């Protein structure tokens, strides 16, 4: 297992280089002059040229990329064009909020989807099964940004239960949970619909296996059969889907953070794109890539726990 993790970490290096190369190419090809944007539309041309030279905008693209990559390897992601602050410092301020939203969304997804999918499989073709599938299809069809607006309208504007926007501090308090609730629901419920369907399908397949019938024939109770024997073996495709959902949660959080004015990396990225703050765009995308790759590595390691037959040499 240790050797496998080390190999995966080494594979991360060319993947991250590829990600940075793509985003840097997009940045270089994007319209707009960062120096012009930083100084304003009415800035003196000489001042613009001086700032361009200071920012290295006159260097060839490959030189600028290699300089940025060398700095990124040492933890220096550059300086923001707008605020003149270190990009790494700005990201570290926003990273906790993004991780809070992602973890809360995934937790909500699992809390809803796993029990509902299992119950739907056990109660196949009953009203419970039909109701859970209606729930799943409804949430899969509901765009996250539209759900976010509906939640704000109902629970913040009409009923004044939750705050409209923002992130309360300190964390792990009732006020913080109230501010986190609507963004997490908007991000997590759509994933719950898809995971419910996958859990149901996986459980139905396992419940028809011979060893499940044998366990029941030996007089083992239904609860033990479902949660001890069937559930653990049904987790492999579910874990695979969870791994696929992680990038979607972070990409969806970009929109949700903007709608709820949640001070995370997604909102930072949107503002940086709108203001052509390219160092912030490059640094934020790089951190997103590291988080997604690390999360997928954790998913791969989880396979061996749920299925001891899977060995990593």
What is the mean pLDDT of the segment spanning 3-20?
Answer: 81
The torsion defined by the Cα of 24, 25, 27 and 33, in degrees rounded to 10, comes to: 120
pLDDT value at residue 183: 92
Mean pLDDT estimate for the chain: 84
Q: What letter would DSSP give residue 86?
A: B
Specify the pLDDT at position 51.
73
Residue 226 scores a pLDDT above 60: yes
This prediction has a pTM of 0.84
The contacts of residue 212 (CB under 8 Å, 6+ apart) are 206, 225, 229, 230
Dist. CA 54–CA 47, nearest whole Å:
10
Mean pLDDT over 126-136 rounds to: 87
Is the pLDDT at 308 greater than 70? The verdict is no
Q: If pLDDT is split at 50, 70 and 90, which confidence band does 152 have?
A: very high
Instruction: Tell me the CB-side half-sphere exposure of residue 208, using CA atoms within 13 A.
Output: 7
pLDDT value at position 309? Answer: 63
Does position 170 have pLDDT exceeding 70, yes or no?
yes
36-76, pLDDT tens digit by residue? 766 766 777 777 777 777 777 777 778 888 888 888 888 88
Q: Between these two residues, 31 and 106, which has the higher pLDDT value?
A: 106
pLDDT at residue 310 in the model? 64
Residue 187 has pLDDT above 70, yes or no: yes
Match 């709108």 to its residue by tokens.
274
Q: What is the mean pLDDT of residues 283-309?
A: 81
């Amino acid at each position: 297992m240790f050797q496998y993790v080390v190999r995966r970490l080494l594979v991360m290096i060319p993947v991250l280089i590829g990600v940075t190369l793509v985003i840097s190419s997009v940045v270089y090809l994007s319209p707009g002059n960062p120096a012009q944007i930083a100084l304003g539309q009415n800035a003196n041309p000489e001042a613009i040229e001086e700032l361009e030279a200071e920012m290295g905008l006159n260097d060839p693209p490959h030189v600028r990329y290699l300089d940025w990559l060398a700095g990124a390897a040492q933890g220096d992601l550059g300086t923001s064009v707008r605020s003149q602050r270190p990009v790494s410092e700005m990201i570290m301020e926003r990273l906790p909020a993004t991780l809070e939203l992602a973890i809360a969304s995934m937790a909500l997804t699992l809390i809803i989807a796993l029990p509902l999918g299992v119950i739907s499989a056990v109660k196949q073709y009953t009203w419970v099964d039909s109701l859970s599938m209606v729930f799943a299809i409804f949430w899969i069809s509901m765009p996250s940004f539209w759900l976010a607006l509906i939640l704000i309208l109902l629970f913040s504007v009409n009923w004044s239960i939750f705050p409209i926007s923002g992130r309360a501090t300190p964390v792990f308090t009732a006020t913080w949970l109230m501010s986190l609730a609507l963004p997490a629901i908007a991000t997590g419920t759509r994933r719950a619909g898809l995971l419910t369907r996958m859990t149901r399908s996986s459980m139905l397949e396992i419940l028809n296996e011979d060893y499940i019938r044998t366990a029941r024939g030996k007089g083992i109770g239904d609860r033990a059969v479902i949660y001890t024997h069937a559930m653990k073996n049904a987790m492999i495709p579910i874990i695979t889907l969870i791994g696929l959902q992680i990038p979607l949660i972070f990409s969806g959080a970009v929109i949700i953070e903007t709608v709820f004015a949640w001070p995370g990396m997604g909102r930072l990225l949107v503002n940086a794109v709108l203001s052509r703050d390219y160092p912030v765009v490059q640094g934020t995308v790089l951190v997103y890539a590291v988080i997604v790759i690390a999360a997928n590595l954790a998913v791969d390691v989880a396979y061996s726990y749920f299925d001891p037959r899977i060995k990593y040499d």
